[in-house]
C-alpha cells in the first residue's frame, strides 16, 4: 500500500518525522535527508540520510518505496528511473 504525502501541505507534511523525530527532513531521489540531524550530529557517525519516515499520527514507519511524494510540479517519484 502506498501512502501519499503532499510536500506543499504543511499539515500533511508535519505528520511525518525523521527517525530522530525532527520535521526538518527533505526528500531526495531515493531517500530522505534531515537538516536537524545533519546539524545536531555533525562530527558523529550518525548518517542524516535515511529511507524511512515515521508517521506521528499512526505510529507507523514507512519506507520510501511505499511513499508517494506530491509537489506542485507533480509526483516526486517521476524523477526515479528504476535506480532503486
Residue ranges binding Zn ion (CB under 5 A): 18, 20, 22, 34, 36-37
- Which residues are registered as beta bridge partners of 50? 32
CB of 33 to Zn ion, least distance (A): 9
d(CA 63, CA 68): 10
Q: Pick the closer one to Zn ion by CB: 32 or 69.
A: 32
| Closest distance to Zn ion from the beta carbon of 73 (Å) | 25
Smallest separation (angstroms) from Zn ion to the CB of 58: 19
Q: Indicate the residue among 37 and 67 with the shorter CB distance to Zn ion.
A: 37
Sign of CA dihedral 43, 19, 23, 1: positive
Strand partners, 5: 69
Amino acid at each position: 500500500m502506498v501512502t501519499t504525502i503532499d510536500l506543499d501541505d504543511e499539515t500533511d507534511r508535519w505528520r511525518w518525522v525523521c527517525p530522530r523525530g525532527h520535521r526538518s527532513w527533505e526528500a531526495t531521489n531515493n531517500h530522505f535527508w534531515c537538516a536537524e540531524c545533519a546539524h545536531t550530529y555533525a562530527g558523529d557517525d550518525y548518517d542524516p540520510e535515511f529511507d524511512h519516515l515515521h508517521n506521528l499520527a499512526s505510529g507507523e514507519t514507512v519506507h520510501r518505496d511505499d511513499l508517494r511524494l506530491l509537489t506542485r510540479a507533480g509526483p516526486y517519484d517521476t524523477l526515479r528511473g528504476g535506480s532503486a
